[in-house]
Structure 1
């Protein structure tokens, strides 16, 4: 493998030869493809490969990719182009300026996984750091139609028992299409409705697909979930896909299964980037679901009677994992999304929210949302089937009859007085140092007659 000046010389020669070939066609097909293959290898590292990343180099690759009658030459050039757009962001605008939108979108219509993979990646990369007009790609060049058609093909492939499990290209192409769909619906929200008909295909793949992944949300599973995040799941036409009459909970069960597996596989620092979208999709599926599906989701995600045998959030269940992550200081995005989900599962009712998760977990969320804390939340467990007569601690959510009682004896009056004196001195010092500016609570208690100083000869009654 060449490096340094030798690599630069070889790259310069290849770019020059392939550029001349565009006008004179002086290379045989196998020579052209061999040159592009060699250039691809050099282009994996931009050091000493400068000619590839110039305007001339990008134009040469683009013309071979989209003007060549040979599918092999086209794909070889596309691989080089993908590497260039990935490694050097300035090359993306160079590509957009060439005006190949029509040919790019037209090539995405090919019924070929290699073309789908490569062209989807090219468009995906141009959604960053360019002035590409996504609305025009959708309205004029029918990009949404091509994406939907490709997802339909993947849905049929997923349901085909004869499909090959050794060929990686279908799953790779699917992942690139889903990433492209997510980015377009994120950056071009005004055209999100153009992709509504992709929802049934995504759901089919998500529920029926069997993918060899190391972690639950590895591609293509994670991108399948992410693709649903920006789409409108309230559209009437797609309700039967989200909640099929034969098994209305098929999608919600699949999503919750992924969440349960994810809770055991991802570390705190991974949660924001991997699991947050899954929580958001579960929230959307619940929000638009029929009542029986909502009851099913709540039964799996809200604390159960088994969880209330101890303080909420301390068991090993999925509801406890959600509660613990609603206060996770490391995963701020997930923390917020989990609280939103639990509030939705409580019908956005503050009292029911407190009853479901306890004051401890509810208070911070309600405060941040400027929602008044309910003062008279019931101390009995509420669920979808009615009210239980078994009382719970409204702060911890634990059944009162299972709370552990303290073995520490109650303080004597003299001990209480000493602790009050310590508190008084502490507040005096904090005020003197300017750390706080509130009234000393012990002084206030004395002035209001709620604090009685014991005489020196006081003796506590002892039974």
Structure 2
């Protein structure tokens, strides 16, 4: 029977669908062709199914109806499923307290929750309705039941799909800021549920979902009171046990979700001891190194570039948080990310070292968020000292960040002599045949020598005049924009030349 005829047949059976022997066969056939229905037919069928499910139907028929709704929920054109009445009905039949030994009811419950999750993905506006659904309380009670049992009991009665769908619905629910979600965020009874879900012997998909829920909940709690602080040791272990390549992968891993969760303020007393914190920093630096290598192989238009930025940002944020909280970690991280410069003859951002590649990110084309977080990290490694920051990475690289902080970059501009003495404790040796150094250029952050100054001995008078005019115009523009407020030196040169001609 053609799908159009099947649809007409099902719709024509009302109101006697429960007792008709054809209903089950029609529903099975409709399920096989539901994805090919037109938007109008999909919406008409969805409204009919929701109306039937709102009433009492036979369990076998109800299973087929819910399964058909689950298939229709994949279609973004099926807008009838985004209505509050649909969410109420599906929450009603989700039966969160179903006995896991009752396979029929369990299948019904799983299918209803899958349909709800699909609707949340295809129709984001429906998430607002989920918060106010009249059937949300059974779901919240289900969470309380989960959280009230011990982790041993959770492991014994573990149902991966049940837990996963519960966490997935909780994820969509906590995307909204409402009194309901704020109460959830402050409920310490959720800690055991999340702790169990991110343990090493639980499927990864469940752990990822729990970590995304944790991130949402932490956004809703005040900085002064984070009930999820007891999870810090497990989150740290999760990152340390994640290979650097997995942390740096474009595909989100449990480790990178743990990084996101640790960015939120939590009591430092809950963090592990210093040796483990050092291991945490080392793992983050290893992942950052891989990301910087990948960054250098892409361009601003490469599709992979935004994914790399998405990984660099949380890792640098967490490193900044760690070095700000523990001075010992600042010293340790600085030795890898911002060590003393060995070769002052090249600019800080030039080269393939880890610190050079990191400094290049400050001016590379890409997201502002990434460049800001990298600058924050480098600034923290310089003890948040503007002059030290400028001396170490160069005025051109530092000026943008200092301006963003509300500081005047000119105040942080070091003199050549101070830069020469403080930029590196181990200046490179010079030989008698090398050009004599003139100190460190505070703008470029590298040493100057006589060979860097172009010779004008072989210039003609016309070439000198053109260069003087170019410099004169440049200084006038700088004065007009307020960058410098000094007498144009080219004017003075012209006056001296005129006096000599006389």
- Tell me what 1:117 maps to: 164
Deviation at 1:257, TM superposition (A): 0.9
Establish whether residue 344 from structure 1 lines up as the match of residue 380 from structure 2.
yes
Q: 1:355 touches 1:394 (CA, 8 Å); kept in 2?
A: yes
Establish whether residue 56 from structure 1 lines up as the match of residue 85 from structure 2.
yes
Distance 2:354 2:185 in 1: 41
Deviation at 1:410, TM superposition (A): 4.9
Q: 1:189 to 1:71 in 2, by over 3 A?
A: farther
Q: 1:445 to 1:10 in 2, by over 3 A?
A: closer
Deviates more, 1:440-449 or 1:104-113: 440-449
- Tell me what 1:166 maps to: none
**Which one of 95, 103, 106 corresponds to residue 144 of structure 2?**
106
Distance 1:130 1:104 in 2: 21
- Tell me what 1:256 maps to: 285
Distance 2:446 2:475 in 1: 34
Q: 1:350 touches 1:366 (CA, 8 Å); kept in 2?
A: yes
Distance 1:141 1:440 in 2: 58
- Tell me what 1:226 maps to: 260
Deviates more, 1:197-206 or 1:10-19: 10-19
Pairing 1:189-338 to 2, within 5 Å after superposition:
189-190=222-223, 193-209=226-242, 216=249, 218-220=251-253, 221-232=255-266, 235-240=268-273, 243-244=274-275, 248-266=277-295, 267=298, 268=300, 269-270=305-306, 271-289=308-326, 291=328, 293-305=329-341, 308=344, 310-338=346-374
TM-score by length of structure 2 reads 0.73
Q: 2:390 touches 2:414 (CA, 8 Å); kept in 1?
A: no
TM-score by length of structure 1 reads 0.78
Distance 1:400 1:425 in 2: 26
Q: 1:44 to 1:194 in 2, by over 3 A?
A: same
Q: 1:440 to 1:359 in 2, by over 3 A?
A: closer
Q: Deviations over 1:159-188 (max 9, x none)?
A: xxxxxxxxxx82211111111111221233
Q: Aligned pairs, how many?
A: 424
Q: 2:361 touches 2:374 (CA, 8 Å); kept in 1?
A: yes
- Tell me what 1:162 maps to: none
Q: 2:239 touches 2:256 (CA, 8 Å); kept in 1?
A: no
Q: 1:172 to 1:374 in 2, by over 3 A?
A: same
- Tell me what 2:421 maps to: 380
Q: Deviations over 1:221-248 (max 9, x none)?
A: 321211111132x5123242xx33xx55
SS in 2 for 1:133: helix
Deviation at 1:456, TM superposition (A): 9.0
Pairing 1:21-36 to 2, within 5 Å after superposition:
21=56, 26-28=58-60, 31-36=61-66
Q: 2:187 touches 2:227 (CA, 8 Å); kept in 1?
A: no
Q: Deviations over 1:356-402 (max 9, x none)?
A: 2123322332344315315443313556xxx335465443333557x
Deviation at 1:208, TM superposition (A): 1.2
Deviation at 1:308, TM superposition (A): 4.3
Q: Deviations over 1:297-338 (max 9, x none)?
A: 111111554564522212122211211111234221111111
SS in 2 for 1:311: coil
Q: 1:303 touches 1:357 (CA, 8 Å); kept in 2?
A: no
Deviation at 1:38, TM superposition (A): 2.5
- Tell me what 1:43 maps to: 73
Q: 1:124 touches 1:179 (CA, 8 Å); kept in 2?
A: yes
SS in 2 for 1:276: helix
Q: 1:93 touches 1:131 (CA, 8 Å); kept in 2?
A: no
Unaligned runs of 5+ in 1: 158-168, 459-463
Distance 1:282 1:235 in 2: 14
- Tell me what 1:360 maps to: 396
Computed over aligned residues only, the root mean square deviation of the Cα atoms, in angstroms, reads: 3.7
Q: 1:404 to 1:84 in 2, by over 3 A?
A: farther
Deviates more, 1:129-138 or 1:175-184: 129-138
SS in 2 for 1:388: coil
